[in-house]
Amino acid sequence: MSMQTSRRAFLGLCGAAALAAIPVRVLSQAAPTKLDVKDPTAVALGYVENAAKVTVAKEPTFKAGSICGSCTLYVKAQEKAGYAPCGAVGGKLVAKAGWCKAYAG
């Protein structure tokens, strides 16, 4: 027995499949989390949440006045409550007043 599928039935199935896939896609885009200073990436980059605590003696690449908020990797458009995603740490949230070795002013 041969089964013929109408165009309308086919498109309906395609639409249902697309709608079923939406929640999976939305759930996979979880909100970014704050970068923990003990995270291996943070430790490797010397990340601190308060740049005022960094000294040139401890971090030779540090320059006074350089903070995450003025870094080109800091996504200012997405800043909330003093934190925003950073390109150097995979989009995790970093403190606006922070600093790390990846600073690009």
Task: Per residue of the chain (105 residues), give pLDDT as tens.
Answer: 555 666 665 555 545 454 444 454 444 467 889 999 999 999 999 999 999 999 888 899 999 999 999 999 999 999 999 999 999 999 999 999 999 999 998
Instruction: Give the Cβ contact number of residue 59 at 10 Å.
Output: 16
pTM: 0.70
**Per-residue confidence (pLDDT) for residue 6, from 0 to 100:** 67
**Per-residue confidence (pLDDT) for residue 63, from 0 to 100:** 92
**Per-residue confidence (pLDDT) for residue 105, from 0 to 100:** 85
Alpha helices by DSSP H, 29-88: 40-45
